[in-house]
């Protein structure tokens, strides 16, 4: 597939799913189903904060779907930290896993 064909494919297949996810996240806070300071609330806020970058593949042909290059580049420095040192890092890790599933 060319980058333009891939972009159209993502817009057709992933676009509606991402729109639904954005609406679901908004509803969680709007309808007070999730507390903003809970683990899930932290994860939702993290995802909302990075939404433009997360959905770039729906707007730009050739946009990468993962950040493996960046992750590999930062791997030596990240091994010095204790993983999941707080609820927030656990929530962020969950969001990253969710994002990397597809």
Is residue 65 within a helix (H) or strand (E), and if so which, with residue range? none
> For residue 98, is pLDDT > 80?
no
Q: What's the CA gap between 90 and 55, in Å, rounded?
A: 22
Closest of 102, 97, 100 to residue 43, by C-alpha: 97
Q: What's the CA gap between 32 and 69, in Å, rounded?
A: 38
Backbone angles phi, psi at 39, to 5 degrees: -60, -45
Q: What's the CA gap between 96 and 37, in Å, rounded?
A: 19
**Res. 8 pLDDT band, cuts 50 70 90:** very high
Q: Which has more pLDDT, 17 or 63?
A: 17
pLDDT tens track for 46-55: 999 999 999 9
């Amino acid at each position: 597939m060319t980058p333009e064909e891939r972009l159209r494919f993502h817009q057709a297949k992933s676009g509606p799913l991402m729109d639904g996810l954005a609406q679901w996240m908004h509803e969680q806070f709007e309808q007070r189903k999730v507390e903003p300071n809970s683990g899930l609330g932290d994860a939702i806020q993290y995802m909302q904060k990075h939404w433009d970058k997360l959905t770039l593949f729906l707007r730009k042909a050739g946009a990468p779907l993962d950040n493996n290059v960046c992750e590999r580049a930062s791997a030596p420095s990240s091994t010095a930290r204790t993983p999941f040192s707080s609820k927030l890092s656990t929530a962020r890790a969950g969001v990253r896993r969710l994002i990397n599933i597809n």
